[in-house]
Structures are given as C-alpha cells and as structure tokens.
Amino acid sequence: MPEDTQHNISQWSSRWAQKRPRALAVVDEDRQLSWKDFDSRIAATAGAFTQMGIQRGDRVAFLLKNRTACLEILLGAARIGAITLPMNLRLSAPELAYQLTDCRPRLLIHEAALETTVQEALSLSKHRPENRLRTGGDPDEFESHLTAADPQTECAPVRPDAPAILMYTSGTTGKPKGALLPHRKVLYNCLNAGLDFSIRGSDRVLVVAPLFHSLGLQILSLPVLYAGGTLFIQASFDPARVWDTIEQEQITYFGGVPAMHQRLYDALRLAPPHQWKTSSLRFIFTAGSAIASHLIEAFHQHDLLLLQGYGQTETSTLCCLSPSDTLRKPGSVGTPVFHGEVRVITPETRPLAPEHWQDVEVNQPGEVVVRGLITMLGYWENPEATAETLIDGWLCTGDLAQLDSEGFLTLVGRSREMYISGGENVYPAEVEAACREHPQIREIAVVGEPDPRWGEAGRAHVLLEPGPRLSLSALQSWARSRLAAFKIPQTLVIEESLPRTASGKVQKHLLRPSGPS
C-alpha cells in the first residue's frame, strides 16, 4: 500500500483540532489542553525534532512520568516518521543502558530528577544519543525547544506498516526484546477498543497506569484520542485520589492492573457509605494478570463493573469480556477481538508448519496464536526471536489457554511454565486461579519443582492477607475440592514479596529451583 498521511497516527489530533478545536483533549497535573492547543504542541514537537536532525526511522526515547509530553513526543515523532521508545521509569541504570545500546536512539527526553540515573546509564551504554533534553526542571529544555520550533509541521505520509512505536517486553524469561509496532497496528487496536468498550468522543478517561506500558498507552490512551475523547492523566496512583477524580471529573472509564483494583476496593470498603459518587463510571478495565473472581463480585456489589481483558505488547488486546458476561464467565478473559484472527492450537502440532496446526477440542489447553492487522512487525534487530514468534503471518504468543463451547478463552499459563506431575500436564495459572480465592491469600505464584515420587510437583509462593498464618494442609484442603489431586501444590512458601520485572510481572524463573521443571 502506498504512503499516505491518512495512515499516520499523528493525523488524529489534526482531525480533531479541525472538528472540535475548543473541546478538551488532555489534562495532566500541569496543564489542560484543547484539541487545537494539543495539536499545536504536537506539531511544535515534530518541528523541534526536525531542527535537531531527527529523520524518518530514527528512534526518540522518553523516560518520563505520566504527563501530556509523553503523548506529544509519540505523536510528534510519528508526524515526521520517527519511532518512539517509551522507557520504563522503574528500570535500573544497567537496564536502561541495555535498551539504549540495543536501539540507539538519536534523542533522549527524560525527567530532570533522573539526571543521576541517566548519567550512570549513559556511562554503561555503548550508545550515547546525539541529543538529550531534560523536562520537569528549571529551565525545562523540552518546553524551550517547543517554544522555538515551527508549530505548523505537516504530517508525513507513511505506509501502514511503517514503525511507530518500539516497546520492550518485560523480560520474564530473559533479556527484554523490542517489539516494533506499526501505524496500522496502533490503528486497529483502537478500532478493536472502540468496538469492545464503545469508546466515543464524550468519554472522559482517567489514566494512572504508566504511559510507558501497553495498558496505559495502547489500551487506555490512544483509543480515546482516536475517538476524540478526553484524557485525565495522573503521575502516581493513590486510591482515594482516583475515586475523587472519578466523582469530580465525571470519569466514564478507568483501567489498571489487579493490584491497583484491590487497593481501590480496600479504599471503597473502608470509606464511609456513599463517600464517592461513581454513577458516571461505565466500567473499569483490568489486565496484566489474573484477577480473583471474588474481587469482581465485590465491585459488582457497589454497582461497579470490572471488565477483564487479555493481550500482549506484541498484539495489544486479543480478547475482552463484554459487560453481560463478566459475572457469567468468571475466570475467562472473553472472546477474541473483531480485528484479528485468534486460534488455540494443540501442543502436538505447534512445532509443525501452520497448515498442519490443529485446533484444540473444547476445554482442552493449547497455545494461543494470532494473525492480522493487530500484530507487531517483529523484534528490533532480532531475526532469530522474530522467526520463532512470527510464522507465516501467525504470531505465537507462548500463552496456553482453552476455549469453551461458546468460544470464551481462559488462560492456563505460559508454555514455559507448564510442568508434568505423574505424567499429567499441570498449568500453574489454573492452580493459581483456584487457590487465589482462598480468603487468606492476597497473591500466589505456582512453579514446578523436582519430586522423587511424581517427577515434578507444585510449589506455591504466596503473599498473605493480614491475619492468621496459612498452613500447607489448609491450602491443600482448600484446593482439594477445586482441583484434581495431581494439581494440588505439595510445598508452600510464605513470602514477604515476589520477584518482579520493572513492569510488575512476577519473574517465575527466579522462583524455580535448579533442576528440571
């Protein structure tokens, strides 16, 4: 398909600036911008990048807390055909250095408060960006460049498959890989979100999830900007402040990870009755990890709807539950999105060519594969990993799931996490889902460990709620009525914390013992 400005995601702000110039586009802790002003700042950002010599295909990295500048950088870079790298604020200096070395950005924009960390990362990196701008300080170098730049920078024509975003995966099993996301993928993710969530221009969406993550950027923010709605951006998560904002700003849509929702519910439960009015809120989206069904039910008792979804950095949202199915299908992540073909294939046929793949029977586990306009182009300068993941147009997720008779997907784990106990395949996510409902368990991670009798058996690492200490026998008694005997954990480890990636995902490989698993 030829190049055209219509394929460029930066065109969205220009269109809304023409159609709704005075309507509110974005609000953060420092400013609120109409669509006209927001688009002018995006154009000025693109102009500033051009003056610094940034060209089509160059990488622009940002290391920022949630603020409008994150979106201005992304759409400003897209306007001239450059690629944005959102960097995780929680990364250590060596981790930042790895990404800088790997993708070689020409420009790094970062919080002035992170100067020491950035200097250390640059000293460790084999690549030093030609340009560096600090923001959030005095003077603010990013703002100074915007003031001096051309505010009328035109949108560059691009192909649908031109790269727009480079996002690094969490690295739960090894070094992070840079997923290269094209303009068409961003667009079709927004189209899917519009269909699943009925996003419209009247929506007012609160974004507390980090804009360097897929959830904050691709699931919450960009679909709302595409639809012409309004974003309210906050830099940190405080449950009471979230509820205050929902009431004061008449927020219609909010999203987060299960740990955030647990804290939100705790604040709601401990507050005086009717402290916060939440009638404007159509739903709350949850993703990133499994959520306990009792928490979904608890929100429902407050007339609040929690919608579960599933996706990856490489694909964004793949499945989502509709409001009517949330309580009817506990544990499910929903049905596949409209734009994208999703299959669950048998483990036996997965090593074969796609034409020989076979779909699993109902309620049998297999690997989730997807193809269509919602997939990444590949991993940045990593042809081996790309070839392992993208096979004849199909993206192999590495996630294991099963489909019920109505086509609803339930995740059962990662293919690398499965272990074999007494000749039976055990999927940790299934065990975790059953045990997570125990009232004393706040969080659980199950891994396989060597067992002299069964070959392997489950070991449960748990974080407990305040109160009595949980015993192994009590956990096994709870699990016995919910799981087959071979799935019941044989070891219990009470933890104060679990090892996590910078994005908050549990690093199970650090929990596994040495030896086969």
Domains and CATH numbers, the chain: 5-21+29-182 (3.40.50.12780), 237-414 (3.40.50.12780), 421-510 (3.30.300.30)
Instruction: Give the whole-angstrom CA distance, residue 257 versus residue 219.
Output: 12
* Mean per-residue pLDDT of the chain: 92
In the DSSP assignment, the letter for residue 305 is -
Q: What is the DSSP string of 242-288?
A: HHHHHHHTT--EEEE-HHHHHHHHHHHHHSPTT-S--TT--EEEE-S
Query: Could you give the angle at which helices 35-51 and 11-19 cross, rounded to 10 degrees?
Result: 150
pTM, two decimal places? 0.85
Helix (H, G, I), strand (E, B) or coil at 62: strand
Q: How confident is the model at residue 452 (pLDDT cuts 50, 70, 90)?
A: confident
Q: How confident is the model at residue 99 (pLDDT cuts 50, 70, 90)?
A: very high
Q: How confident is the model at residue 514 (pLDDT cuts 50, 70, 90)?
A: low
Instruction: Give the whole-angstrom CA distance, residue 488 versus residue 424.
Output: 12
Instruction: Give the whole-angstrom CA distance, residue 343 versus residue 407.
Output: 10
Distances (CA, A) of 389 to 8, 342, 368, 427: 26, 15, 12, 21
3 state SS for 121-144 = HHHHCCCCCCEEEEECCCCCHHHH
Instruction: Give the whole-angstrom CA distance, residue 322 versus residue 376.
Output: 25
Closest CA to 492 of 438, 434, 445, 456: 445
Q: Are strands 253-256 and 283-286 parallel, antiparallel or unpaired?
A: parallel
Phi, psi angle pair for 350, to nearest 5°: -55, -40
- Residues near 135 by Cβ (< 8 Å), separated by ≥ 6? 64, 69, 109, 110, 111, 112, 141, 142, 143
Work out the end-to-end distance of the chain between its first and last CA atoms, rounded to an integer number of angstroms. Answer: 47
Judged by phi (left if over 0) then psi (alpha if -120 to 50, else beta), residue 274 lies in left
The pLDDT value recorded for residue 515 is: 39
Which ranges constitute the DSSP H helices of 322-427?
383-389
* Span 46-66, average pLDDT: 98
pLDDT, tens digit (0-9, with 9 covering 90-100), for 333-369: 999 999 999 999 998 898 999 999 999 999 999 999 9
- Residues near 469 by Cβ (< 8 Å), separated by ≥ 6? 494
* Span 307-316, average pLDDT: 89
Instruction: Give the whole-angstrom CA distance, residue 96 versus residue 228.
Output: 34
Burial class (CB in 10 A: 0-12, 13-18, 19+), 406: exposed
In which residue are the tokens 């058996």 written?
457
- Does 321 have pLDDT greater than 60? yes
Instruction: Give the whole-angstrom CA distance, residue 158 versus residue 247.
Output: 41
